[in-house]
Amino acid sequence: MTWLVNCGALGIFDSGVGGLTVVRAVQELLPREAIIYLGDTARVPYGSKSPETIRRFSDEDVRYLLQHDVKAVVVACNTATAHALPMLEQKYRVPIIGVIEAGVEAVLADPNSQRVGIIATRGTIASHAYQHALAQRRTGLRIIAQATPLLVPLVEENWLNEEATKLVLQKYISPMLDKGIDTLLLACTHYPLLVPMLQEITAGAVRIVDSATTCAEHLRRELLRLDLLNEGEGDGILQIGLTDLSEQFEELAERFLRRLPPRITRVELG
């Protein structure tokens, strides 16, 4: 397909439409930036796949975005960042920004964070990427990491206010609360939609760090540092390409983006 914008746009990719939570945060903070979003909906989820497969898929995603001359790539997917970011950074010359660094910085910005709970896909937790990054930077930090594989399907089903979702969350979060966490890091694209229910479950006693918002802030600092920030006039265009258009892709995209998405196109990788 022909994109309306190419040169100078930001490329953002995720395993599916969940990364639109990052797009929303980026658009709020950096409205001038044009964005080409790629969601690999034909192969979602990445969270249950092997590290090799996640690296191969992520590599194909980046190659696709580079064909459209993006100035920087944002890996909006936590699982892809956890397993593929070092490989991608080594392989490509364009700046590649993942979600982990930002989440870790946001946790450590509060000196009172001493016991941190992390929830994410199985792949992200198994990679230990968040655990290592946090432990390296603050000695004595207590980290309680929990894979929460049932949450992505619940969010995709829009079960955001269902009792069943509350029960699942309580099952995952209660042991963390028993261990006295003061911070809960949401290390998955889908989890920002669960913030109201999480606030209720944690009774406001825990600081909730959402990696979508923190990623946008981190991206802004990186673009400034690299002199890549768009200083032009007017708002940037958002274009969304998905590798598969399922029945509910538009409704899902609207939910993650929190507004009507622009026309979505099916794209081929490779």
List of residues contacting ligand DGL (CB under 6 A):
14-16, 18, 44-47, 77-79, 121, 124, 152, 188-190
Instruction: Rank residues 27 and 124 by Cβ distance to ligand DGL and give the closer one.
Output: 124
Residue sitting closest to ligand DGL (CB): 47
Q: Residue 16 or 95: which CB sits closer to ligand DGL?
A: 16
Q: Which two tokens stand for residue 101?
A: 């660094």
Specify whether the CB–CB gap between 118 and 130 falls below 8 A: yes
For the bound state, the minimum distance from the C-beta of residue 119 to ligand DGL, rounded and expressed in Å, comes to 11
Catalytic residue among 77, 104, 215, 238: 77
Nearer to ligand DGL, 45 or 261 (CB): 45
Give me the catalytic one of 22, 74, 184, 188.
188
* Cα 239 from Cα 203, distance rounded (Å): 38
* Catalytic residue status for 188: yes
| Shortest distance, position 71 Cβ to ligand DGL, whole Å | 23
User: In the complex, what is the shortest distance from the CB of residue 254 to ligand DGL, in angstroms, rounded to a whole number?
Assistant: 17
Nearer to ligand DGL, 5 or 106 (CB): 106
Q: Give me the least distance between CB of 9 and ligand DGL, in Å please.
A: 21
In whole angstroms, what is the distance from residue 213 CA to residue 29 CA? 9
- Residues annotated as catalytic (active site), given as ranges: 77, 188
